[in-house]
Structure 1
Amino acid sequence: MTTHRIGPPPPAFNLPPVPGTRPHPLQAAALGALWAATRVGMLALLLVDRVGDTGVAGEVHTLYRRWYEQLVQGAFPLDDVTWQYPPGAALVFLSPGALPWLTYFQAFVALTLAADAVITLALARAGVRGAWLWVCGLPLMLHLPYARYDVQVTAVAVLALLAVRNRPLIGGALAGLGAMIKVWPLLTVLGTPRGRTTRAAWISAAASAAALLAVLSLAFTHSLDFLRQQGARGVQIESLGGTALQLARKAGWPGSVRYQYGAFEFVGPHVPSVARISLLLTVAAVCWLLLWRLRASRWTPATPFDAAFAAVLLFTVTSRVISPQYLIWLLGLAAVCLTSRHTTQRPVALLMLPAAALSALAYPVLYDDVLAGSPRGLLLMVVRNGLLLAAALLSCRRLWAASAGRAG
């Protein structure tokens, strides 16, 4: 006698892995060879980069090294307007000290390369399409990724997202740790399915963040000084608001560009208003994400990935600051989306490739044009930021339609 199952089918969140998503040995070899070749090229660019306080690597040589020397004394940078990061970032800036046989710069780059390899391996195990996007996408940013600490942050976020589905406690803990390093990894738990998974992930994230903050507050002084510096930020020239102000300059607006708070920002009339509009748009993004969370009724294995990607895109385009290294985050999250055949974000993920290439053109290749607001620099920023805005809107539309919109 045939036995029929009574009741609803098992949720899609428990579907088995799709055969063939992990790389075939030949494909794995090709992926590894491409990773090695492109990373050698990125390192070569880094070696010929100008040394000292100029060039892409200048932040590691001077700023990161200065922070390291202050942190080893047991204090966060005091009255330093360039220190705008949560206290967990200290762990990244102190980590080169674990390789004392190398210079600070060499150790930092070696650890960044190791984080890149971890991301690649984790993505290859989860779904080879995502690994290909990451391996091919990161070199489009030239050597910048190895001269910033965003690869390490992205590694924490990628591991958190990949873990949260089956191991919500681990995924949540990683998300909480990542939030203490650079805030945005906390968004990796936004799209967890309701019920036990969400409770486990969110409680774990809160507990790990609180535990790390407590440890760092005991070990260092001035652990929350970054809030004052972050709140004083203005409108960076590479943000959407900055592009609007550059266009206004062409129409006669009398503002100018000044280096302050560790970035080139606009000063002049109406700049505070543009900054407030950016903050209001960020609040609107938060409200939309909360509404999506309340209305969402259909979860797939890719929903946590898609929600995190859409959320970070929203916060990127509404920010007063869009540094080129933000594309590292977006490439990592886009790659995680592509590890699942259920993702709604495939076309949006592919848009990150030209966005990354345009960001590298903006900095460092044509940065003088961007600073001057020349026709070439202005066109570059209009296209790059327009692409990011279109990607954010498309990402939200596809996420809503798949999980919160009318079924069918």
Structure 2
Amino acid sequence: MFIFTFLTLRNYLNHALATTLVKVNSFKVFARSIPGLIFTWLITRYFLFQFITLKFYYPEGKWLKGDVELYQFWSLGLIQRIFPINESMWQYPPLAGFIFTIPQYVFGNSNIGFIFTMIFFDFLILVTILKFGRSLFERKIPVSLDGFAGAWFWIIWPILMGPLLLTRFDLVPTFFAILGLIAVYEKRINLASFLITIGTLLKLWPILILSILDKKVIQKMILPISIFSALILILIELISVGSLSFLENQSSRGLQVESVAAILFVIYKLLGGNVEYPFRFGSLEVEAIFANQIAILLNISTLIFFVIIFILNIKERLSILNIFEKSLIVIIFAIGLSRVFSPQFWIWIGGLSALVVIFKSTKLKRVILLLSISALFTQILYPALYVGLLSGEFFPSLIQIIRIVLFVSAMILSFKLLIQSSKKRVTDV
């Protein structure tokens, strides 16, 4: 009887093990298949679309399309080639105006049309990251998941940051920044110059990529970027009105409640301090003692940081990190030292992180993990608990504190990597 029981148990365990191995192998095959990737992208984006259009319940989901409705309002003037003038919420470089008109021209409906346009750019980002990852794999460069890791990361990213991803224009400059970085990696300098110029004229942050590029690459890119920028700006100015009106609005912004530095005022208000959040320049800004001084200090700190990074990079002291890792780090610091930290900034981080995780040797795994958790807390906070944060309620304030602590932790880890890089000279990946 004992022998029979033993044999039965052994057969059961062998069968269970075999079944598990089959499932594991099936998962590995699925994770490395383009049909599996596309299928998952379709499913996730279907749910995102349903959340945005309120077909499926999403906490305070009515606020997700707030910016989309604003884009629609702007597009009515933009299709007449008139930029928003004396409009404090217009803070986009001139080329952004063209993107805002696409839904009106193509779909005749800026609300749903804009979301479909962003789904298109979302798919372009996925294809770009997948193609790059697979090309590295085919060249025998050590990559994760046979080059599929970055694409899977991008598919999963909106599960962390939420359906907001498809309701914000930031997908477009992120797409061009990704293309520009890949072009730099492939040593296609003129193409990279053009792509980074386009990204910068859509939203300014892609120009920060220049601060971490090789000295010789920067020298080769300065002239093409200057020429491309001048030609595009002159053309837009000739055929439109008010294309440079965004500059004044950008410079006038104060300290936004969601920014890293504003956490001091969130805590102060939680403890009963007198803090107000008036709506100015498209966001809720901190109005309290020392708020303006802190905003000025942030501007100075940002300038100092990028000067230091630029000098270290020119002296080839950051070469232990590849260009994708360095780009992610400088964008993390650009956001962390900014007066503003809007939820859509996570789109930038998600796109750059997807490039980073392609490489097996990446040193930013812990940084990206911290960022991912912080992004999840952002989704919990906005839009569902946002009003509670403004009112100084305990739970929303706690979520904001955790979110910022995680982000600052990622900044600290990134800074340590930069310090290590400045002490070593290793050939760039």
Aligned pairs for 1:3-402 within 5 A: 26-48=32-54, 55-61=63-69, 63-100=70-107, 102-127=108-133, 128-166=148-186, 167-195=188-216, 197-297=217-317, 299=319, 303-402=322-421
1:252-291 Cα shifts (integer Å, max 9, x gaps): 4322121222111121322211211221221222222223
1:29-54 Cα shifts (integer Å, max 9, x gaps): 2222211111111001011079xx95
Match of 1:8 in 2: none
Aligned-residue CA RMSD in angstroms?
Answer: 2.2
Q: 1:298 to 1:377 in 2, by over 3 A?
A: closer
Match of 1:9 in 2: none
Letter of the 2:96 counterpart = A
Q: Structure 2 CA distance, aligned partners of 1:345 and 1:162?
A: 18
Q: 1:155 to 1:47 in 2, by over 3 A?
A: same
Q: 1:201 to 1:396 in 2, by over 3 A?
A: farther
Letter of the 2:345 counterpart = Y
Corresponding position: 1:405 with 2:417: no
Q: Kindly indicate whether the alpha-carbon contact (under 8 Å) linking 1:165 and 1:192 is maintained by their aligned counterparts in 2.
A: no
Deviation at 1:208, TM superposition (A): 2.0
Q: Structure 2 CA distance, aligned partners of 1:305 and 1:151?
A: 18
Q: Structure 2 CA distance, aligned partners of 1:150 and 1:372?
A: 28
Q: Structure 1 CA distance, aligned partners of 2:36 and 2:203?
A: 33
Q: Kindly indicate whether the alpha-carbon contact (under 8 Å) linking 2:78 and 2:98 is maintained by their aligned counterparts in 1.
A: no
Letter of the 1:168 counterpart = I
SS of match in other structure, 1:257: coil
Q: Structure 2 CA distance, aligned partners of 1:138 and 1:125?
A: 20
Q: Structure 1 CA distance, aligned partners of 2:182 and 2:424?
A: 28
Bigger radius of gyration among the two? 2
TM-score (ref. length: structure 1): 0.87
Deviation at 1:399, TM superposition (A): 3.6
Deviation at 1:71, TM superposition (A): 1.3
Q: Give the stretch that moved more between structures: 115-124 or 331-340.
A: 331-340
Deviation at 1:297, TM superposition (A): 4.4
TM-score (ref. length: structure 2): 0.83
Q: 1:250 to 1:109 in 2, by over 3 A?
A: closer
SS of match in other structure, 1:364: coil
Q: Give the stretch that moved more between structures: 216-225 or 283-292.
A: 283-292
Q: 1:48 to 1:382 in 2, by over 3 A?
A: same
Letter of the 1:322 counterpart = F
Q: Kindly indicate whether the alpha-carbon contact (under 8 Å) linking 2:89 and 2:249 is maintained by their aligned counterparts in 1.
A: yes
1:89-129 Cα shifts (integer Å, max 9, x gaps): 112111213314x4111221111001111111111122221
Match of 2:15 in 1: none
Q: Structure 2 CA distance, aligned partners of 1:261 and 1:406?
A: 43
Deviation at 1:351, TM superposition (A): 2.5
Runs of 4+ in 1 over 4 A off after TM superposition: 23-26
Letter of the 1:367 counterpart = Y
Q: 1:192 to 1:28 in 2, by over 3 A?
A: same
| Structure 2 unmatched runs, 5+ | 1-28, 134-147
Q: Kindly indicate whether the alpha-carbon contact (under 8 Å) linking 1:170 and 1:204 is maintained by their aligned counterparts in 2.
A: no
Deviation at 1:201, TM superposition (A): 3.0
Q: Structure 1 CA distance, aligned partners of 2:73 and 2:407?
A: 33
Q: Structure 2 CA distance, aligned partners of 1:394 and 1:206?
A: 34
Q: 1:255 to 1:218 in 2, by over 3 A?
A: same
Q: Give the stretch that moved more between structures: 181-190 or 202-211.
A: 202-211
Letter of the 1:173 counterpart = F
Q: 1:207 to 1:393 in 2, by over 3 A?
A: farther
Q: 1:298 to 1:149 in 2, by over 3 A?
A: closer
SS of match in other structure, 1:267: coil
